[in-house]
Structure formats: structure tokens, C-alpha cells
Amino acid sequence: MQFLILIYNDSEMLEAMPASEFDRTMRDCLVHADELRAEGKLRDSMQLEAPSTARTVRTRNGRTSVVDGPFAETKEMLGGFNLIEAHDMDEAVRIATGFPWASSGSIEVRAVRDLDAVRQRVGA
């Protein structure tokens, strides 16, 4: 099964973090990702740019709007993601606990839906 590991960071905590601590945490995160990749557990990972660079697109009642920044005002921002392979949710959570960013934010683990099954069900 595939799971998406979403890394959320508290922007205030990141800004207050000394550069050396940030670099150490980032290095630990990359080392962890490299280990998972070598084990065949990590399919892909990406780090996102700051929320201030984002745009949110919304269509309501036939009208489309584009606004600067993320959709929700929140203390934590989505910083990146990792697509992993795991036998079940328990294993995915164990893998997620190895990412050091949980100390300055949170990590969401979500199963990835089988898109081929969805395509077949809807006839696409």
C-alpha cells in the first residue's frame, strides 16, 4: 500500500530555530529519507516553497477566484511530503515517526487511493 506522509511545520517555531539547529534537523530528515529509499520504502519526496508563494484556486457558482497564499489561515504550514510503501497504516505511522519535523510541527499519514480502481469504477 502507498501512504502519503505530509509534513507540517509551525512557522513561528521554524523562524525561532537557530540556523544550525534547522540545518541539523534538515540533514537528519534527508538521511532518514535516504535510508527509507534504500529499503525500498520511499517512493518520492518533495519539499515545498513557503506558503507565501502559493495561490489558491476556488470555483463556486460558476465563478473562479485565485487568491494569494494557502486556503486556510493556520499556524502550521505544509512543508513537504513523502510517498512511501508500507504494509498497513501501523507500519506507515512507524515510518512517519522517524521524521524529525514532528518536533516543530506535525506529520499526517494518509493512505493513497488506488486510482486505477477509481478509473474502472467510474468508467474513465
Q: Which domains does the chain have, with CATH numbers?
A: 2-47+75-122 (3.30.70.1060)
Q: What is the pLDDT of residue 77?
A: 81
What is d(CA 107, CA 99) in angstroms, rounded to the nearest whole number? 8
The stretch 2-13 carries a mean pLDDT of: 89
Residue partners of 2: CB distance under 8 A and separation at least 6: 43, 83, 84, 85, 86, 111, 112
* Cα–Cα distance, 92 to 95 (Å, whole number): 5
CA distances from 14 to 8, 95, 97, 118 (A): 11, 23, 19, 39
Q: Quick one: which H or E segment has residue 42?
A: strand 42-47
Average pLDDT over all residues of the chain: 87
Greater model confidence, 10 or 20: 20
* This prediction's pTM: 0.80
pLDDT at 3: 94
Which residues pair with residue 5 across a beta bridge? 82, 109
Q: What is the mean predicted confidence (pLDDT) over 53-81?
A: 79
Alpha-helical regions (H) of the chain: 11-16, 19-38, 89-96, 115-122
